[in-house]
Amino acid sequence: MIRSVVLDIGETLVSDTRYWADWARWLGVPPHTMSALVGAVVAAGRDNADAIRIVRPGVDVGAEWRARQAAGQGDHLDESDLYPDVRPALQRLRTEGIWVGVVGNQNDAVTGLLRGLDLPADGIATSGEWGIRKPSPAFFDRVAEWAPGTRDQIVYVGDHPANDVVPARAAGLRAAHLRRGPIGLTTAAPEADWTVDSLAEFAELIIRQN
């Protein structure tokens, strides 16, 4: 019996297209170049922020992000950033009595942006708000405290095997690997309880199992 579903944010609920296009504009490179650099570092198993460090060697990415904020070019989210299956899938889960949470590795400014989208979710948070980042075991312990149910009744859904699936399973949670985005599509997650191509497919599996 699954009581809670907790979902990652980037490339699970929200496309990162705007995020990297905004970074490209700030760094003064074409969006295609930025996308290619992100793909290259992901393929090498590196942090995707290394794409920024390639363009500006030695840069403090956090400080650069704050400079963007100060210049009025900070993060932005609106309905167009959501994948089209997000609202229907989350609403379907809630209609079936499953608690739905959203939390991923995002700065605390994104927390308010997400809440402003009025998603069909019972709880929304970010690593910036919690002060803990994935894949830290403490992040998934916090998920287990936050979401209703025992650990084996909580599913964490994400696109990144190393950041989402493996540490969730290590913490005793169930895990679903979403094949979406550059990491989700190119990296297998044999540790996952479920591997799906969409949130609609995932919601159907969980409801049928319950």
pLDDT digits (tens, 9 = 90+) for 113-152: 999 999 999 999 999 999 999 999 999 999 999 999 999 9
How many Cβ atoms sit within 10 Å of the Cβ of residue 16? 18
What residues does CATH 3.40.50.1000 cover in the chain? 4-15+78-209
What is the Cα Rg of the chain in Å? 17
CA atoms within 13 A on the CB side of 115: 11
User: What is the SS3 assignment for 106-150?
Assistant: CCHHHHHHHHHCCCCCCEEEEHHHHCCCCCCHHHHHHHHHHCCCC
Closest CA to 127 of 146, 107, 152: 107
* Residue-level pLDDT at 192: 98
Alpha carbon separation from 89 to 1, 155, 199 (Å, rounded): 18, 14, 6
Cβ atoms of 192 and 165 within 8 Å: the answer is yes
Average of per-residue pLDDT across 84-109: 96
Confidence label for 16 from pLDDT (cuts 50, 70 and 90): very high
Cβ atoms of 173 and 151 within 8 Å: the answer is yes
Given CATH 3.40.50.1000, say whether it is the number of domain 4-15+78-209: yes
* Residue-level pLDDT at 171: 98
